[in-house]
A and B are shown apart, each in its own frame.
Chain A
Amino acid sequence: MRLRGLCLTVWLALSLPGGTALAIDSEAAFADPAMQARYENLNRELRCLFCQNQSIADSNATLAQDLRREVRDMMAEGRDDADIRAFMTARYGDFVLYDPPLAPRTWLLWAAPGLLVMIGILAVVLVIRRRARNLGDETDGLQGEGEP
C-alpha cells in the first residue's frame, strides 16, 4: 500500500470511535506545566463512555478527543475543576467520573476502606486479648523462634 494511501486509511480509521490506537494530542495543551498537569489529571478522571473502560486520557476514540478538547477549552477560559466536572456530569451523568461523587448514595463506598480496616483491627485486638489471657493458663513447652 502506498504511504499516502496508508496514511489516509489510518487517519480515517482513527476518526472512527473505539480505536485501540494511542490517545495522543499533537502537542502539549498548555505551556504552563502546572496547567498541563491539571489537564492530564482531569483527563484521567473522565471516562470515555464509548470505550470498554478507559479514561479519555487513554482512548483515541473520537468522543474522547472531543471531550479532551472541551476540557482544554474550559481550562483556558479559567474554569476550575469542579466546574469542568459539573459540565460533564450535567451531560453524561455521574458515570463519566472515575472518581465517584461524595453523596449519600456513595457513602458506603467511601466509608468502606476505613470501616473494613477498623472492623478488622477491632476483631484482631479482641482475639489477641483473649489469647493473651489464655497464654497465662498454658504450660506447653513451646520455645518461640523466629523461623516460619
Chain B
Amino acid sequence: MMHKALFVLPGVGFILLAVFLVRGLFLDPSRIPSPLIGAPAPQFNLPDLGDPSREVTNLSWTGSPYLVNVWGTWCAGCREEHEVLLDIARNHELPILGINWKDQRELALRWLAELGNPYSAVGADLEGRVAIDWGVYGAPETFLVGADGRVLWKHIGPLTVEAWRDEFLPRLQGQGG
C-alpha cells in the first residue's frame, strides 16, 4: 500500500502552483525588459526628418545624457505623451532625440508643426532598421542614455509624469546630470 503521506503531495503541489499564479496576476507578460540596459547605446545615422540631405546621428551626443523617443503619427499613445515630452524639453535641459518610425515625412512634419516640437533633432527611420537595433517593438518607447553612452533605462508606452519622476529622474540624478 501507498504511504499515507504520499496522498498529501497533490494538494501541496497545487498550493505551490497557486502561489505562482497569484504572483503572475500582478506581472505583465507582454512587457518585455530591454537587454540593452547597461549596454552601450546603438549608434545610428538617419536622414533628418526636415532636411533629408542632412544626417542625424547620436554619435555627436555622447558626453552628456539624452533621451531617445520613438514615435509615429499613426500611434495614439504618442499623442498622449506629447505634452510630457514638450515639458521635459522646456524644463530639463535634457535633449530629446526623436526617431520617427515607419511614418510619412509630410505627416510627421505637420504633426510637429501643429503640436509643437520637443525634439532637438528627429531622424526618419523609414525602414525600421534603427528601431530594431534599439529593440523597439511598439510605439511609443523612450530611452535614457547616460553621459557615458550607455542605455540607462527604457520606458515602454506613453511617457507619463509619474514615469518621468519615478523611473527617469533618479537615474538621471545618479549620473550627476
**A84 at interface, CB cutoff 8 A:** no
Complexed CA–CA distance, A93 and B133 (Å):
12
Residues of B within 8 A of A67 (CB): 132
Residues of A with C-beta under 8 A to B137 = 49-50, 63, 92
Q: Which residue of B lies closest to A130 (CB)?
A: B1
Interface membership of B138, Cβ < 8 A:
yes
Contact, CB under 8 Å: A91 / B132: yes
Is residue A3 within 8 Å, beta carbon to beta carbon, of the partner chain?
A: no
The answer to whether the Cβ of A15 comes within 8 Å of any Cβ in the partner chain is yes
Can you name the residue of chain B whose Cβ is closest to the Cβ of A63? B137
* A92 and B32 within 8 A (CB): yes
A91 to B134, CA, bound (A): 6
A15-B102, A49-B32, A93-B35 known; A63+B128 contact, CB < 8 A: yes
Please indicate the chain A residues that have their CB under 8 angstroms from the CB of B135 in the complex: 91-93
Interface of B is mostly: loop
Give the size range of B's interface with the partner: 10 to 19
- Distance, CA A92 to CA B131, complexed state (A): 11
User: Would you give the shortest CB distance from B55 to chain A, in whole angstroms?
Assistant: 21
Least Cβ–Cβ distance between B65 and chain A, in angstroms: 22
B residues contacting A by CB (< 8 A) are 32-36, 74, 102, 127-129, 131-135, 137-138
**8 interchain pairs (CB within 8 A)?**
A49-B32, A62-B102, A62-B128, A63-B137, A66-B129, A66-B131, A70-B132, A91-B36
Name A's B-contacting residues (CB within 8 A).
Answer: 15-17, 49-50, 62-63, 66-67, 70, 89-93, 95
| Extra inter-chain contacts (9) besides given A67-B132, A93-B35, CB under 8 Å | A16-B74, A50-B137, A50-B138, A66-B129, A66-B132, A70-B132, A91-B35, A91-B134, A93-B32
